[in-house]
Structure 1
Amino acid sequence: MNSEEVKLVQESFAKVAPISEAAAQIFYDRLFEVAPQVKAMFPDDMSEQRKKLMATLAVVVGGLGNLQSILPAASALAKRHVAYGAKPAHYPVVGGALLWTLEKGLGEAWTPDVAAAWTSAYGTLSGYMISEAYGTVQAAE
């Protein structure tokens, strides 16, 4: 990721942060709509899960300018997700739901440049997480 992409991701996330509860609800609703099979990996009461999602995103987005600072946490998260049943093929589904949520939440502020920056950020981190969790970089299908 280049510095302009980092700036676009951080500035756009700052616009989503005030509506983080609604954004998390929209994200999980979308995820379960497009991949209903993953719902079983989550608790019935999603309130804490939604808070964890937004807190994790805040840490990751805040650390994008110094990627090395967030990689240990991303590695640990990826390894925990294996125990929950996550597979490499889930990563692009989650990414799609995240980008869709951001597009809905940002409205006109979701520009092609912002979309590209988020796509780059998610691709970078999900590729790293897949590598950490499964031992090799695998093409997510």
Structure 2
Amino acid sequence: MTPEQIALIQQSFAKVAPISEQAAVLFYDRLFEVAPSVRAMFPEDMTEQRKKLMGMLAAVVGGLSNLDSILPAASALARRHVAYGATADHYPVVGATLLWTLEKGLGEAWTPELATAWTDAYGVLSGYMMSEAYGAQPQAAE
């Protein structure tokens, strides 16, 4: 990721932060719509889970300029996800859901450049997390 991409991501997330609760609801509603099988991995009451999602995103976005600062937490998160039943096939679905949520939340501020920046950032982080969770980077099923 370039410094320009990092700046775009951080600026766009600053616009999402004030609507973080709605963004988290959008995210999980969409995730459960496109991947209903993952619903069982989550608690019935999603209030705390939504807060955790937005807190994790805030930490990641804030740490993009110094990836080494967020990698230990990403590694631990990846391992916890395995214990919850997450597989490598879930990562692309979550990524697509995140991008969809950001596009809906940002409206006209969602540009092709911003989409590329977020896609690149998610690719870097999810690739790292999959390697931490499953060893050598697995190929997700197409």
* TM-score between the two structures when normalised by the length of structure 2: 0.98
Q: Point out where structure 2 has 5 or more consecutive residues left out of the alignment.
A: none
Residue number in structure 1 paired with 2:110: 110
The answer on 1:77 being equivalent to 2:77 is yes
Partner of 1:61 in structure 2? 61
Alignment of 1:52 onto 2:52: yes
Question: For each residue in 1:105-127, what CA deviation from the matched residue of structure 2 results, as whole angstroms up to 9, or x when unmatched?
Answer: 00000000000000000000000
Aligned equivalent of 1:9: 9
Aligned partners of 2:137, 2:78: CA distance in 1, in Å?
13
Q: Deviations over 1:54-87 (max 9, x none)?
A: 0000000000000011000000000000000000
- Aligned residue in 2 for 1:139: 139
1:34 aligns with 2:34: yes
User: How far apart, in 1, do the equivalents of 2:80 and 2:37 lie?
Assistant: 19
Provide the rounded CA distance (Å) in 1 between the counterparts of 2:114 and 2:15: 12
**1:36 alignment partner AA:** P
Q: Which runs of 4+ in 1 moved over 2 A?
A: none
Q: TM-score, normalised by structure 1?
A: 0.99
* Unaligned ranges ≥5, structure 1: none
Q: Which runs of structure 2 are paired with 1:88-99 in the superposition (5 Å)?
A: 88-99=88-99
Q: In structure 1, what residue type is equivalent to 2:32? A: F
